[in-house]
Structure 1
Amino acid sequence: MIWQMVLLCIIWGTNWAVMSVALEYFPPIMFSAFRFVLGSAVLLAICFYRKIPFPKKQDWKWYALCGLLQTAYVFAVTQSVLEYLSIGVGSILAFSMPFWLTILAHFFIPNERINFAKISGLLIGLTGLILVLDVNFLEMTWSGVTIVAQLFAISASIAWATSNIIIKKVLHNHDKTQFTTYQMIIGALGLLVASFILEPGGSVEWSWMAIFCLVFAGVLASALAYILWSFILSEGEAGKSSISLLAVPVVGALSGWAFLGETLSLGTLLGILLVLSGIAVVNMKDIKRLRRKVAYDHAMPDQKEKGSL
C-alpha cells in the first residue's frame, strides 16, 4: 500500500508542473474536461478489453454522484477561483480535503476514529504545506469576492472528501476500473458543460507540448491515478490515505524546481520536511510493519526458524 501511495503522489505531483505548462495552451476548465475525456476513453477501452460489465442500475446514482462531486465540481471550482485567489491559497484550501475526510470518516466509517496520531500528523502536514506553497494568511483578503472564492474552494475540498466517503463506505467492493471509468465519463461531461458556460470563446493552441500535457494528464494523472486512488482508498484507512496526499504539492514543488526552473527557498525545504514528518507520524505503524517485513525477507533461514525477527 505504501508503494502505491508513493507512485500516486509522484504522478499527481508531477502533474502540477504539467498543468502549469498546459495553461499556456488551454483554457483551464477546458483542459480539465479534455484530460478526463481522454482518461475516460482509455478506461472504456480497458473495460472493453477486460470484458468488464456495464454498471448495474442501482450503482449509477453513486457513480454519478462521485463523478459530479470529485471530478466535475472539484475541477470546475478550483480552476475558476484562481481568477480571484493565488495558486498557493487555492491549493491550500483544496488540500484541506484530508481535514474534512478525517472528520467525516470519524462519524461514518467504523474503526476510523480520530486519534492523536491523525490530528498531530494532519496539523504538522498542513503547517508544512503552508510553507511549501508560501502562503501568508496575514496578507490575504477576507472580504468581498475573495471570501466567496475561498468558500467555494473549501466547498470543493468538502465535495472531494464526501466522494471519498462514498467510495470507502458504499463502493469499496465494486470493480475499481468500472467505477473509475463511469464516474469519470460523468465528470468529464460536467466539465465540458462548465467550460462552455464559464469559458465562452476559449480556444486551444495545439502543439506537440500541448498534446504531451494532455496525454500525461489524461492517461497517467487521470485514468491510471484515479484507479490507483480508488484501490488505496478501498483497502486502507480513509483518513491516513488522504493525509498522505499532502505529499502531492511537495512533489509538485520539486517538479517545478526540476523541470520549470523554479526556486526552492529555505521555507519550502522546511515545509517539505514538515509535510513528510506529518505523513510519517500518521503512518508510523505501517512503516514499522514494512521495516519488519523487509528485515524478515532478508534474514537468514536459521534466523527465520528461530523467530528472532
Structure 2
Amino acid sequence: MGNKVLDRFAVILLLGLCVIWGLQQVAIKFALEGISPMMQAGLRSIGATILLCLWMRWRGVKIFERDGTAWWGLLASLLFSGEFLLLYWALEYTTTSRGVVFLYTSPFIVALGVHFFVPGERLRLLQVIGLCCAFGGIVVAFGDNGGAGDTLVGDMMALLAAVFWGATTVVIKASPQRMLPAERVLLYQLAGSAVALPLLSLAFGEAGVTSLTMPVIASMLFQIVMVAFVSYLAWFWLIHRYQASKISSFGFFSPLFGVFFGFLIMDEAITPIFIVALVLVAAGIYLVNKPQAVKQTLVDKSSLPES
C-alpha cells in the first residue's frame, strides 16, 4: 500500500488532476465577474466542506474526535485561509498565467521549511539546484509582465499565497496532524476557511455575490466539486496506492497547464522571457520533488495538493 510503481492509469489520472489545478485560476477569474474574491473563496470552502463531511460519513471516517490535534488544525486552517484570501485577491490584479507561476513556488517553501522543522528531512543537492532554478524563474518573471500592465501587487500576493501554502504543509508535516486520516487533515482546512473567509469578506465590506450568470455559477461548481472535493480525494487515493515521491514529481505540470489555459481561454500574452521563467520554475519543481534513490515505502498523508 503506497508503494506501487506508477502504471498507465495512475499517470493519466495525475495528468488529469494537473489539468484541473491548471484550470483553477481561470475559473476564479470567471467567477470574479459576479462574486468578490474573499466571498468566492469562502463559498468554495463551504461547499467543499459539506461534500467532504458527507463523504466521511459514508466512508465511516470520524468527523469529530479528541486527539490533541485541534490547535494544530486551527493553525493550518488559518494559513490555508490566508493562502486563498491572497490567491483570489491576487487574480484581481494580475493575470492567471502569472498567478499560477508565482503560486507554484510553494514546493520550494516546503523544501526549506522541512529542512529546518522536520527531523530527518534535509535539503539534497538536487533540491538546492531546484531552489536556485525557481529563484531565477521568479526574478525573470518579475522583470517581464508581457504588456499586462502593473501586475506587481497581484504578483506579490500570489507569491505570498505560495508562502502560506508551503507553511500549511510544513505545519502538517511537523505536527501530530501527519498521523490523521487524510480526510480529517483536509477538513480542518476547509471548515476553518469556510468560517473565516466569509467573515473577512463582510469585515472588509466586499460586495459579495453581485451577479449569478451561468459562467459564474459554472466556475463556482467547478471549484467546489472538481477542485476542492474530487481532485483532492483522487490525490489521496493515489498517495495511498503509489509511491508518494513519484506522484509529487508530476507537480511541475500544473503551472504549465495553468499558463497554457491562460493563453488559450483568457487570451493572455505569453512572451519568450516569461516562457523562460516558466521553464525555470517547472524545472525547479521537478528537481525539488525528484525521488531519492532509496525506494519510499511510507505514505505521507500530509502531502496535500494545491487547489
TM-score computed with the length of structure 2 as normaliser: 0.73
- Does residue 56 of structure 2 align to residue 44 of structure 1? no
Alignment of 1:195-234 (within 5 A): 195-227=201-233
Matches of 2:114 and 2:53 in 1, distance apart?
31
CA contact 2:22–2:100 (8 Å) conserved in 1? no
How far apart are residue 281 of structure 1 and its match? 3.3
Relative distance call for 1:276 and 1:186 in structure 2 (3 A) is closer
- Does residue 73 of structure 2 align to residue 63 of structure 1? yes
Matched with 2:143 is 136
- Does residue 19 of structure 2 align to residue 13 of structure 1? no
Unaligned stretches of 5+ in structure 1?
139-145, 290-309
Matches of 2:269 and 2:180 in 1, distance apart?
43
CA contact 2:255–2:282 (8 Å) conserved in 1? no
Relative distance call for 1:55 and 1:7 in structure 2 (3 A) is farther
Matches of 2:215 and 2:26 in 1, distance apart?
13
1:179 aligned residue (179, 185, 204) = 185
CA contact 1:167–1:233 (8 Å) conserved in 2? no
How far apart are residue 264 of structure 1 and its match? 3.3
How far apart are residue 113 of structure 1 and its match? 0.7
Matched with 2:117 is 108
How far apart are residue 260 of structure 1 and its match? 2.8
Matched with 1:160 is 165
What is the aligned residue count? 277
- Does residue 274 of structure 2 align to residue 274 of structure 1? no
Structure 1 residue matching 2:268: 3-state secondary structure: coil
Matches of 2:209 and 2:59 in 1, distance apart?
36
- Does residue 56 of structure 2 align to residue 31 of structure 1? no
Matches of 1:99 and 1:255 in 2, distance apart?
24
- Does residue 131 of structure 2 align to residue 122 of structure 1? yes
Matches of 2:269 and 2:92 in 1, distance apart?
24
CA contact 1:180–1:227 (8 Å) conserved in 2? no
- Larger Rg computed on CA atoms: 1
How far apart are residue 44 of structure 1 and its match? 1.2
Matches of 1:155 and 1:262 in 2, distance apart?
22
Relative distance call for 1:181 and 1:77 in structure 2 (3 A) is same
Structure 1 residue matching 2:177: 3-state secondary structure: coil
CA contact 2:97–2:262 (8 Å) conserved in 1? no
Matches of 1:277 and 1:99 in 2, distance apart?
12
Deviations 1:241-287 (A, max 9, x none): 4x864543322110122223334333344344334433443455469
Relative distance call for 1:16 and 1:288 in structure 2 (3 A) is farther
Relative distance call for 1:123 and 1:226 in structure 2 (3 A) is farther
Alignment of 1:247-286 (within 5 A): 247-285=253-291
Deviations 1:199-237 (A, max 9, x none): 344333112211110111111211233445667889746
Structure 2 residue matching 1:171: 3-state secondary structure: helix
- Among all aligned residue pairs of Structure 1 and Structure 2, give the percentage whose two residues are the same amino acid: 22
Q: Which amino acid aligns with 2:79?
A: L
Higher helix share: 1
How far apart are residue 83 of structure 1 and its match? 6.5
CA contact 1:27–1:199 (8 Å) conserved in 2? no
Deviations 1:13-43 (A, max 9, x none): 1111111111112111111111111111111
Deviations 1:148-202 (A, max 9, x none): x94x766544332222123223322311122212431111110011111123443
